[in-house]
Structure 1
Amino acid sequence: MPTPHPYSFRFVTLAAFGLLSLSGCRRSSFPDVPVGYREYAYISNGGSNTVTVLDLVYLRQDRTLQVGANPTNLAVNPARNEIYVANAQSGTISVIDAEVNRVVATILVHRQPSFITVDPTGHRAYVANYGSNSVSVLDLDRRREVSVAGAGEQPVQARISPDGRTLVVTNHGSGSVSLFDVTPYDSTKPSSGATLHLRSTSSGCQGASDTVILPDSSKAFVACSAGHQVMAVGLAAAPGSWAAKQNPSLTTDRMLALLDVGKTPVHLAMKPDGGEIFVSNFDSDSFSEIATWTNEVGGTYAIGNRPAQGIVSGDNSMLWISNQGADSIGLYSIDDGKLAGSVRTGSGPGVLAFSEDQHLLLAADTHSGDVAVIRTAGKQGPALFTILPAGISPNSIAIKAIHKK
């Protein structure tokens, strides 16, 4: 199973932050929520074989769920109240019912599942099996694996395109990207979408890892984490589509460019409008800015010590980057093109996630085993609000809001 780049951590005490009582109190001076509204953050803890559930309305720990061994990644079902956990050492997927916050099923897959993604319909999921060089297709209605496709060596991530037509799999060991045709799910034919067909493979991306796909499903960008590049890949347009009619060459996949960025690019953060991508360069303490329309690097800028992951606000104006080595999150104003400050966290912040209304930003602190909860707006600007407990080595965050009528 792949392990994160060897980060350097330092211990910080939580007392200095003036934490809220873990018994929980209703967050004050926050936007009101409707009666019956619930929102939870799910944090997979790779070192304790658990998922921590945090209540984001009352800002407290809700419970801890036992899952499989070495959970590495979480996915949210967009159509139903379920969360999925990839358990690398167990070779399984745990299904969490978000209505009751219980593990309700376990799906057997293959060796060392490292990543799970759910299609836009919520009926299918795809699992990258790092240890068996394969991708599993899951039927989420029947909660079982329905087919398996071969991938490259050590597939570390699988992402479905927004239009549901293409599955992009990054093969860390072989330094390649596999593109699969996906048959869209048809409710009148429940077996549709159960088989993957390999469409093309692009090589030359050393340590292929994180991927983003443009909102219009026209391109994928892949971090080549064992080098200093990002690969841009043009995804085949649907036959008969406007794009295909305008340019028949767009009906095939194309490797468009290998873009030089900083050392060890480990994560890609895309603006919601798809116009730019921001690359966290872990070993050069910087991030790079890529224009997706022209496939060009606009610049590389210092941000902090060991940047691990970025996230962009919904209005496309602000980039937040976790600095593993500095126990902080750096802020970059995209509109102004300059650094806008930093916010302290716990020790070794890694993965980031916004609450549904984006008034809160959560950072999983890998070394201190907790989650920093940051207010994104306030009289004095962004600031640490509290820190909530998680487990050992938290490595993924999923957010689920439940709206009761």
Structure 2
Amino acid sequence: MISRRTILGGGLAGGAALLAGCNRQPGSGYHGFAFVATAGSPAVAAVDLMAFAVKARIELPAPPSSLILHPDPRQARIYALAPKSQTLDEIDTQARKRTRGLKLGGTPLAALAHRGRLWCLMKDPAVLTPLDLSTLKAGKAIPLPAPPVAFDLEQKAGLAAVTSEDGTLVLVDLSAGRVFPPVHLEPGLGGVRFRSDGKLLMVAEREGHRLDFVDTASRELVTQLPLALSPDHLCMTPDGGQLFLTGQGSDAVVIAYVYRTEIAQTSLSGRRPGNMAISSQPDAPGVANFLFVANPEAGSITVFNVNTQKVVAVTGVGMDPGSIIVTPDQQYALVLNRASGDMAVIRIAAIAPGRAKSAPLFTMIPVGEQPVAAVIVEGV
């Protein structure tokens, strides 16, 4: 393990140079950058994942809350949403600088890319706004019937599913700009996810402690599954077969089988578990897929074996861990610690099930005040 003292003292740089000159061996780093949004300052940190060090700090007009990748990786662009200033900024990942900005005319909650456009979910006014990524100009907004909470996109059909504060769920045909009649559920809705085949929606009822399944074509409620917690955080396996849920009410992770529309089990985790991420090894038979669960109060990460649905490791990572991102090569899990202002790096191959149930940290990287979101760009 490399200590924080070594990093701050500059000792990591020499080791990073050696790593960069080697072939891609396990543990030698990832050929790319992690771009980290810091909500405590108007900046995005560019972290070299071969050197494991911040190489640039990209100044922005306002603190960002989230980052979105351009759907075409050849464009080398990412986008930063800043709700307080109601703006969106474009960042050139190769030059590592801000290139353009846009005033959104409302408060953005989230954004997702679809067919050359970035769709921004706006709370005030309640609309879905398309942004042309070539010109960075806003198109005609689609009005929503109520202030939204969250949304998801079904890429093939070009559908958006939006949950609202009043307990309604609406489907939106993006190409036609058409909002279908709402599905009336209960107030206190949270996240929403399309099933991988697009035929079913999973809707989190945070106040009702339920997971709702809604048929996409008919917009009819299929079933409601009671939960032992408020489904505040949702995480889907890459194959779309399992949905993991955490939230207030239970120190546990709920596992739902989305094609069977049933709860598989509820597994104990750390104190008040929060954000999650999954590593996948589809081309490596016998190698475990891992679910990483942040435990903000404990300053730790719990690691589940997705195949066996058992805890294999718990490791301390820093103060108030939040977002977790896995590198595309599945070598590293990156954990953003909001209170301590750093990024913990876990080498996934070092996770060894056993009595110790530990996953040693590979390194810690100071990234800035209150890191809240990150995206990974290969080869920049």
- Range into which the TM-score falls when normalised by the shorter chain: 0.7 to 0.9
Partner of 2:106: 111
- Superposed CA deviations along residues 310-340 of structure 1, whole A, max 9, x for unmatched, are 1122237321111111111101112222111
Partner of 1:5: none
Secondary structure at the residue paired with 2:308?
A: coil
Matches within 5 A, 1:119-158: 119=114, 121=115, 123-158=116-151
Partner of 2:60: 67
Partner of 1:397: 374
Within the alignment, does 1:299 sit opposite 2:265 as a pair?
A: yes
Aligned Cα RMSD in Å? 2.6
Within the alignment, does 1:170 sit opposite 2:163 as a pair?
A: yes
Counterpart of 2:277 (choices 289, 311, 318) is: 311
Give 1:69 shift: 2.7
Normalising by the residue count of structure 1, what TM-score does the alignment of the two structures yield?
A: 0.81
- Is contact 1:112–1:131 with CA below 8 Å preserved after alignment? yes
Matches within 5 A, 1:190-205: 196-205=177-186
Partner of 1:385: 362
- Is contact 2:91–2:98 with CA below 8 Å preserved after alignment? yes
For residue 228 of structure 2, what is the amino acid of its counterpart? G
Counterpart of 1:179 (choices 171, 187, 205) is: 171
1:50 to 1:78, Cα distance in 2 relative to 1, 3 A: same
Partner of 2:236: 270
Matches within 5 A, 1:1-400: 14-15=4-5, 21=11, 23=13, 25-26=16-17, 28=19, 31-32=24-25, 38-79=31-72, 80-119=75-114, 121=115, 123-171=116-164, 173-183=165-175, 196-236=177-217, 252-315=218-281, 317-378=289-350, 382-400=359-377
Give 1:46 shift: 1.5
Give 1:26 shift: 4.1
For residue 99 of structure 1, what is the amino acid of its counterpart? Q
Counterpart Cα distance in 2 of 1:277 and 1:19: 42
Counterpart Cα distance in 1 of 2:62 and 2:309: 43
Counterpart Cα distance in 2 of 1:346 and 1:83: 27
In structure 1, stretches of 5+ residues that fail to align are 1-12, 184-194, 237-251
For residue 59 of structure 1, what is the amino acid of its counterpart? F
1:331 to 1:38, Cα distance in 2 relative to 1, 3 A: closer
Give 1:16 shift: 10
Give 1:296 shift: 1.0
1:300 to 1:20, Cα distance in 2 relative to 1, 3 A: farther
1:211 to 1:254, Cα distance in 2 relative to 1, 3 A: same
- Which piece of structure 1 moves more, 357-366 or 371-380? 371-380
- Is contact 1:277–1:291 with CA below 8 Å preserved after alignment? yes
Give 1:219 shift: 2.1
- Is contact 2:253–2:268 with CA below 8 Å preserved after alignment? yes
Give 1:19 shift: 8.9
For residue 88 of structure 2, what is the amino acid of its counterpart? I
- Is contact 2:229–2:246 with CA below 8 Å preserved after alignment? no
Normalising by the residue count of structure 2, what TM-score does the alignment of the two structures yield?
A: 0.86
For residue 273 of structure 1, what is the amino acid of its counterpart? D
- Is contact 2:7–2:365 with CA below 8 Å preserved after alignment? no
1:331 to 1:391, Cα distance in 2 relative to 1, 3 A: same
- Which piece of structure 1 moves more, 384-393 or 309-318? 309-318
- Is contact 2:290–2:305 with CA below 8 Å preserved after alignment? yes
- Which piece of structure 1 moves more, 66-75 or 261-270? 66-75
- Superposed CA deviations along residues 22-47 of structure 1, whole A, max 9, x for unmatched, are 646147498349xxx94111121122
- Is contact 1:94–1:106 with CA below 8 Å preserved after alignment? yes
- Which piece of structure 1 moves more, 346-355 or 375-384? 375-384
Partner of 1:244: none
Counterpart Cα distance in 2 of 1:256 and 1:70: 41
Give 1:73 shift: 1.5
Counterpart Cα distance in 2 of 1:325 and 1:353: 19
1:27 to 1:219, Cα distance in 2 relative to 1, 3 A: farther
For residue 377 of structure 2, what is the amino acid of its counterpart? K
- Is contact 1:360–1:375 with CA below 8 Å preserved after alignment? yes
- Is contact 1:214–1:274 with CA below 8 Å preserved after alignment? yes
Secondary structure at the residue paired with 1:253?
A: coil
- Give me the identity figure in percent: 23
- Is contact 1:169–1:179 with CA below 8 Å preserved after alignment? yes
Give 1:164 shift: 4.7
* Matched residue count: 359
Give 1:345 shift: 0.6
For residue 319 of structure 1, what is the amino acid of its counterpart? L
In structure 2, stretches of 5+ residues that fail to align are 283-288, 354-358
Counterpart Cα distance in 1 of 2:25 and 2:162: 40
